[in-house]
Amino acid sequence: MVKAVVLGAAGGIGQPLALLLKTNPLITELGLFDIVNTPGVAADLSHIATPAKVEGYLPPDDGLAKTLKGADIVVIPAGVPRKPGMTRDDLFKINAGIVRDLATGIATTAPKAFVLVISNPVNSTVPIVAEVFKQHGTFDPKRLFGVTTLDVVRASTFVSEVINDLSKAPEIVVPVVGGHSGVTIVPILSQSSHPVLSLLDGDKLKALTDRIQFGGDEVVKAKDGTGSATLSMAYAGAEFATKVIKALAGEKGLIAPSYVHLDADKEGGAALKKEIGKDLDYFSTNIEIGPNGVERIIPLGKLTDYEKQLIAAAVPELETNIAKGATFQKAPP
């Protein structure tokens, strides 16, 4: 019996994500919340012959609380997406307040739920959720996840394109660590399950790294002002949510990358801080997920000199992004 909730469910990501979750046989209840259109989206999805009972609410009459009641997992893709020329950080002004309000609802109504944050800038919105939870005395770092899966999905695809064999894309695994924006996205191609590094000279390695870091810009540009990645994000979000749900159901050994608070596993977090040479509170890395959330933070392991340089460039940017989110909530403007 798993209740999953999508906040921002009528949006570009929210609708296909809700569709994919509706097809997950482990989900028995699916709650949808948005400031527009959720009754329609819910009615539409409810006709699909899968176990999940679907309900959609709008803000009036305590719609957020009704949606969240009894939630085991809450996925948040609410907020504005990028337009050409914008960075994810440019979204902060609008999305920070949206995420804070939704997090307040979760802390009040479903404080034990696993929270998966998609809304950008993820590097800052995750600290906002954590601060809201701390203020409500309900913060458990094991239960909060920034969704960075799309970076990993892109890395698999782009590596399969380099080796000219898209059929290998589903099985190629490349750890992508750091954060979820520009230079904070650090692909560890030396640890790719396909030994792609041996095929890449310096320029090609840089080009592939850049493409993984800035892959989102390709979509923003192609959509020409109408938004950013939605379908690939819904796919990635559903993939990550499915792992979390399987872990909740007791499956063991589930590894996935996510942007987490490093106190979620104090020992693993301390080892990772040593590797990056900085006492950051949040970082994206492979984690093992279990029934209580983050079981283990997996350190980065052996890196090439180039990857060490990428990490060194990511750390100060991440530090600024984290402080921006945490400060916003501690002292809202």
Closest separation between CB of residue 144 and ligand NAI, Å?
A: 14
| 34 is annotated as contributing to ligand binding | yes
95 is in an annotated binding site: yes
Q: Which is nearer to ligand NAI, 205 or 240 (CB)?
A: 240
Minimum gap (Å) between residue 303 Cβ and ligand NAI: 23
Gap between the Cα atoms of 1 and 21, Å rounded: 14
Nearest distance, CB of residue 88 and ligand NAI, angstroms = 6
Q: Is 180 a catalytic residue?
A: yes
Residue nearest to ligand NAI (CB): 11
> Is 14 annotated as a binding-site member?
yes
Cis ω on the peptide bond leading into residue 299 (within 30° of 0)? no
Q: 53-90 as b/e, with b when 16 or more CB fall inside 10 Å? A: ebbbbbeeeebbeebbeebbbbbbbbbbbbeeeeebbe
Identify which of residues 117 and 205 has a Cβ nearer to ligand NAI in the complex. 117
Distance CA 273, CA 280 (A): 7
Task: Check the annotation: does 270 bind a ligand.
Answer: no
Selecting among 47, 136, 180, 194, the annotated active-site residue is 180
- Rounded least distance, CB 267 to ligand NAI, Å: 27
Q: Is 1 annotated for ligand binding?
A: no
143 is known to lie in a ligand binding site: no
Cβ contact 45:17 at 8 Å: no
- Between residues 81 and 190, which has the closer beta carbon with respect to ligand NAI? 81
How many CB atoms lie under 10 A from the CB of residue 333? Answer: 7
Query: What's the rounded Cα separation, in Å, for the pair 288 and 249?
Result: 14
Give the residues lining the site for ligand NAI (CB under 6 A).
Answer: 7-8, 10-14, 33-36, 77-82, 91, 95, 98, 101-102, 118-120, 122, 147, 150, 180, 227-230, 233
When the beta carbons of 176 and 205 are compared against ligand NAI, the nearer one is 176
Beta carbon of residue 330, minimum distance to ligand NAI (angstroms, whole number) = 21
**Quick one: 142 or 154, whose CB is closer to ligand NAI?**
154
Q: Which residues are annotated as a binding site for substrate?
A: 82, 88, 120, 154
Q: Which residues are annotated as a binding site for NAD(+)?
A: 8-14, 34, 95, 118-120, 233
Q: Which residues are annotated as a binding site?
A: 8-14, 34, 82, 88, 95, 118-120, 154, 233
Provide the annotated active-site residues. 180
